[in-house]
């Protein structure tokens, strides 16, 4: 007996994207909030693919939805790929079910065929807008006789199926916003299917939620105005009403809907750009929600514990790229060196700085100018990566910030060697001092401590350390900004360090 009660009260939610485009960051957040809410209540989280728009739905987008959610660690418990007791989980695989309900509505005269042309409807809409009223269908085809309908259908006259909307006040409680009400008289009879075999979003969604025993519908704010329509469909069908929770939208910096104009919007683009899933999750969770304390770093597991759907903000939140970058930098710093190096490898390979040749042990250093290739170990790459851990905001910055370790020749303007008011002569003197001092260190003694001792001794005799250290750093890296020269020299090795100093002297 208790078991049964438990079963009927189990929370069931769903994330129902349509595979008509890349999985948007806003969709990801909707999925995240659903996941957090469900997981903390030990509920079931259904992934449903809403592919009723046959023209725009694509298999590759569906794949991307799976991939994105998996990357972020947002796990669903039922879905098209893993199955479940309430499938199928793709809407186009259950057309017969929608058809059954559609026939029921038609039979009960709760829905009717409409033969109005799109042009006719469009003209009426424009007229209504011009008169300052909310556009709605005038119910013209409602007065069609059974015989006329039969005749039209037989002639294959183009038609849609509309739901009769009764005039009443539709009221519902929203977990995130409280009571919301709307007058259904303003809506007009909505189209719920193009035909018996092609239901529209409103209808299919409502039927799925019922059949999948969804208890909580958590979705974006853009659906608030759709909710009364769906409630009316539920009522016509005699379905149970789920609990609704509408979460605010993610906005672009100008407060408009976030779109491609503002750069990356899909989850996979963020992955490619070198964002960590931890950072994206933490960031997205805090867009519209916060724990009410001053704590700001949360893992997915910690969010499951602390998240409260009732506490989500009501207003839309602007996507603050700088904050995401900050969080990403933070999570990069949290990684162990081995983990970060592992993450760096694909970026180094992609930019042709290294080649992978059968596993970690045989990583090849690849010179982009000479043909020579030499081996470099994972441990050596780790050392290089360690110098950059505090300097990275995104993984995609990896090749650009450490390429000088891998390249045979580095290119930079001579002008860059100049520190403060140094003359060409000063630079040459510094480079000579560097060459002399460093050549004194024997190959076997080439380590950070010795390099530092020798160089600092030399540098103290100059107006300031920069006179020696800046040209050194530039000669070794070719960059205006980088990690410190001692560490770099150590990793580069005696031979290459001296070689680059000599090259710097020859620069025209």
Residues 407-466 that bind RNA (CB under 7 A): 419, 464-466
* Residues within window 75-134 making contact with RNA, judged by CB under 7 A: 116-118, 121, 125, 129, 132-134
* Closer of 296 and 355 to RNA (Cβ): 296
Does 52 engage in binding with RNA (CB under 7 A)? yes
Q: How far is the CB of 81 from RNA (least distance, A)?
A: 18
Contact, 167 vs 188, CB < 8 A? Answer: no
Q: How far is the CB of 145 from RNA (least distance, A)?
A: 20
Interface pick for RNA out of 33, 112, 270, 470 (rule CB under 7 A):
470
The size of the chain, in residues, is: 508
For RNA, which stretch binds (CB under 7 A), given 96-104, 312-320, 349-357, 494-502? 312-320
Report how far residue 60's alpha carbon sits from residue 20's, in angstroms, rounded to the nearest whole number: 9
Does 323 engage in binding with RNA (CB under 7 A)? yes
How many residues of this chain bind RNA (CB under 7 A)?
86
Q: What is the dihedral of CA 466, 467, 469, 471, to 10 degrees?
A: 120
Q: How far is the CB of 6 from RNA (least distance, A)?
A: 30
Sheet containing 364-366: order of strands: 354-355, 364-366, 373-375
Q: How far is the CB of 362 from RNA (least distance, A)?
A: 31
Report how far residue 108's alpha carbon sits from residue 233's, in angstroms, rounded to the nearest whole number: 13
Catalytic residue among 260, 272, 314, 373: 260
Report how far residue 489's alpha carbon sits from residue 486's, in angstroms, rounded to the nearest whole number: 5
* Closer of 256 and 436 to RNA (Cβ): 256
How many other C-beta atoms are found inside a 10 Å radius of the C-beta of residue 167? 9
Report how far residue 489's alpha carbon sits from residue 492's, in angstroms, rounded to the nearest whole number: 5
Does 255 engage in binding with RNA (CB under 7 A)? yes
* Residues within window 382-401 making contact with RNA, judged by CB under 7 A: 390-391
The residues near 422 (Cβ < 8 Å, ≥ 6 apart) are 430, 467, 471
CA neighbor of 210 nearest in space, from 233, 185, 193, 190: 233
Interface pick for RNA out of 10, 53, 95, 268 (rule CB under 7 A):
53
For RNA, which stretch binds (CB under 7 A), given 7-15, 147-155, 218-226, 360-368? 218-226
Examine the residue annotation and report whether 260 is marked as an active-site residue of this protein. yes
* Closer of 480 and 495 to RNA (Cβ): 480
3-class secondary-structure state, position 179: strand
User: Active-site residues: which are they?
Assistant: 260
């Amino acid at each position: 007996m208790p078991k049964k009660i438990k079963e009927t009260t189990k929370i069931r939610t769903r994330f129902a994207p349509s595979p008509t485009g890349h999985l948007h960051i806003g969709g990801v957040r909707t999925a995240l909030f659903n996941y957090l809410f469900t997981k903390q209540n030990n509920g079931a989280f259904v992934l449903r693919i809403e592919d009723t728009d046959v023209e725009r739905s694509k298999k590759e987008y569906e794949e991307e939805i799976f991939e994105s959610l998996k990357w972020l660690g947002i796990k669903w418990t039922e879905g098209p790929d893993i199955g479940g007791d309430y499938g199928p989980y793709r809407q186009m695989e259950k057309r017969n079910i929608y058809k059954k309900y559609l026939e029921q509505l038609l039979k009960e005269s709760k829905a009717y065929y409409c033969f109005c042309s799109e042009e006719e409807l469009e003209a009426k809409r424009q007229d209504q807008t011009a008169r300052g009223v909310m556009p709605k269908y005038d119910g013209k085809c409602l007065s069609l006789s059974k015989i006329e309908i039969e005749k039209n259908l037989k002639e294959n006259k183009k038609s849609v199926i509309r739901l009769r909307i009764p005039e009443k006040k539709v009221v519902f409680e929203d977990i995130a916003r409280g009571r919301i009400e709307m007058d259904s008289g303003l809506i007009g009879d909505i189209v719920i299917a193009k035909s018996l075999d092609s239901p529209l979003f409103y209808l299919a969604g409502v039927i799925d939620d019922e059949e999948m025993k969804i208890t909580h519908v958590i979705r974006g704010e853009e659906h608030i105005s759709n909710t009364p329509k769906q409630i009316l469909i539920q009522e016509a069908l005699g379905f149970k009403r789920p609990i609704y929770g509408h979460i605010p939208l993610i906005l672009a910096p100008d407060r408009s809907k976030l779109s491609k104009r503002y750069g990356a919007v899909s989850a996979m683009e963020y992955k490619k750009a070198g964002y960590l899933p931890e950072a994206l999750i933490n960031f997205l969770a805090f867009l519209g929600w916060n724990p009410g304390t001053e704590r700001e770093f949360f893992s997915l597991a910690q969010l499951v514990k602390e998240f409260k759907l009732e506490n989500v903000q009501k207003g839309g939140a602007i996507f603050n790229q700088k904050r995401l970058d900050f969080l990403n930098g933070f999570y990069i710093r949290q990684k162990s060196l081995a983990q970060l190096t592992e993450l760096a490898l694909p970026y180094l390979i992609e930019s042709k700085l290294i080649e992978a040749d059968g596993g970690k042990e045989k990583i090849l250093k690849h010179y982009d100018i000479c043909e020579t290739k030499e081996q470099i170990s994972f441990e050596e790459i780790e050392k290089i990566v360690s110098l950059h851990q505090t300097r990275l905001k995104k993984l995609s910055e990896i090749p650009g910030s450490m390429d000088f370790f891998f390249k045979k020749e580095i290119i930079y303007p001579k002008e860059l060697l100049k520190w403060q008011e140094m003359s060409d002569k000063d630079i040459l003197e510094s480079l000579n001092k560097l060459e002399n001092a460093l050549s004194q260190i024997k190959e076997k003694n080439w380590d950070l401590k010795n390099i530092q001792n020798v160089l600092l001794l030399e540098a103290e005799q100059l107006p300031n350390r920069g006179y020696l250290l800046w040209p050194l750093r530039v000669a070794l890296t070719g960059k205006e900004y980088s990690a410190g020269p001692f560490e770099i020299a150590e990793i580069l090795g005696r031979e290459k360090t001296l070689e680059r100093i000599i090259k710097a002297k020859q620069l025209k």
